[in-house]
Structure 1
Amino acid sequence: MKNPPDGWPRITPAVFYDDAGAAIDWLADAFGFEVRERIENEQGQVVHSQLSLNGGLIMVGQAGLTPGRTYPRSPRAADGANTQSLMVYVDDADAHCERARAAGAAITTEPATQDYGEDYWSDRSYETRDLEGHYWWFVQRLRG
């Protein structure tokens, strides 16, 4: 048995949505994710999915499928509260931002360059909020 399995990074975030099916379609359109797997129950709710982008992997699931649990919930169901954001490296932060904007993403921080000095690194990045309120940082490494 190989740990982790082939094609899986050591850390894989799970992101939950009130309408996971719509979120998966939107994440593919707006951010360029590729849907590797999508499993639905008899009611058509997503019980498991895998989306990949540039070697990274996330799982997207339906919030509230387990009765009696207060988690997982989408930010929309928690009055906009977020306890995390996701950071994804892309090849061109500006082009990626325009793709996300065209798909209706709320750009919360426009693309900007952060330079931490010659001894460190420089990135270009932007922050966006998705259709249910999750925050995402998309980053392009410029130097370092």
Structure 2
Amino acid sequence: MSETSRPKGLSSAVCYRDAKAAFRWLERAFGFEPIFVLLDADGNLGHSEMGHGDSVVMIGNEWSEDHKSPLSIGGKNTQTVHVQLAPGEDIDAHCERARQAGAVIVMAPETQFYGDRTYRAKDPEGHIWTFGVTVEAKTAAEWDAEGGFTTVSRLD
């Protein structure tokens, strides 16, 4: 790993009971790219980061009563992570790769009214991940007409 500063932006941090296993699984199942891993003197994972495009997801162990894996709290999720694939990527093949690695597919690939094809998967500890790829670029007026919504730029 080279020392660089991060650009302004968002990243997600996901807690696991077994973060080392999760790190390996996320690479195999979803194709996330390892950036770096910090190990303590006993070889335990202290912190890790994986990349997808220009985004980073931090993978770590449970570390407080407020930072738990769904596996430790009855399978509940308080947030999910959405991962956008590049135009032209085969989301159906991505889903099948995840399924073969042991992901539970909770929503099979389906084209949405707004022009993305998406699927949802649970990892071995119960985190829900949504993957999408734009298959048809649509304007707000087009997706509003198809989905029955009204798109605005802000809430007043």
- Quickly name the TM-score band, shorter chain normalised: 0.7 to 0.9
In our comparison, the structure showing a higher alpha carbon Rg is 2
Name the amino acid aligned to 1:5: S
The answer to which structure has the higher strand fraction is 1
- 1:103: which partner in 2? 101
Q: Measure how far apart 1:101 and its partner are.
A: 0.6
Q: Measure how far apart 1:73 and its partner are.
A: 0.5
Q: Which moved more, 1:26-35 or 1:53-62?
A: 53-62
Checking the alignment, whether the CA contact within 8 Å between 1:9 and 1:56 is kept in structure 2 is: no
**2:81 corresponds to 1:86:** yes
Checking the alignment, whether the CA contact within 8 Å between 1:123 and 1:142 is kept in structure 2 is: yes
Checking the alignment, whether the CA contact within 8 Å between 1:127 and 1:137 is kept in structure 2 is: yes
Structure 1 gaps, min length 5? 117-121
TM-score, normalised to structure 1, is 0.85
**2:51 corresponds to 1:52:** yes
Structure 2 gaps, min length 5? 138-156
- 2:119: which partner in 1? 126
Q: Secondary structure at the match of 2:92?
A: helix
CA deviations 1:33-87 (Å, max 9, x no partner) are 11100011123221111100122211001113xxxx3121100001111100000
CA deviations 1:86-111 (Å, max 9, x no partner) are 00011221111011011010000000
C-alpha spacing 1:52/1:45, structure 2 compared with 1 (3 Å): same
Query: Number of paired residues?
Result: 131
Distance 1:27 1:44 in 2: 20
TM-score, normalised to structure 2, is 0.79
Percent identity among equivalent residues?
40
**2:61 corresponds to 1:71:** no
- 1:37: which partner in 2? 36
Q: Measure how far apart 1:9 and its partner are.
A: 5.2
- 2:128: which partner in 1? 135
Distance 2:15 2:98 in 1: 19
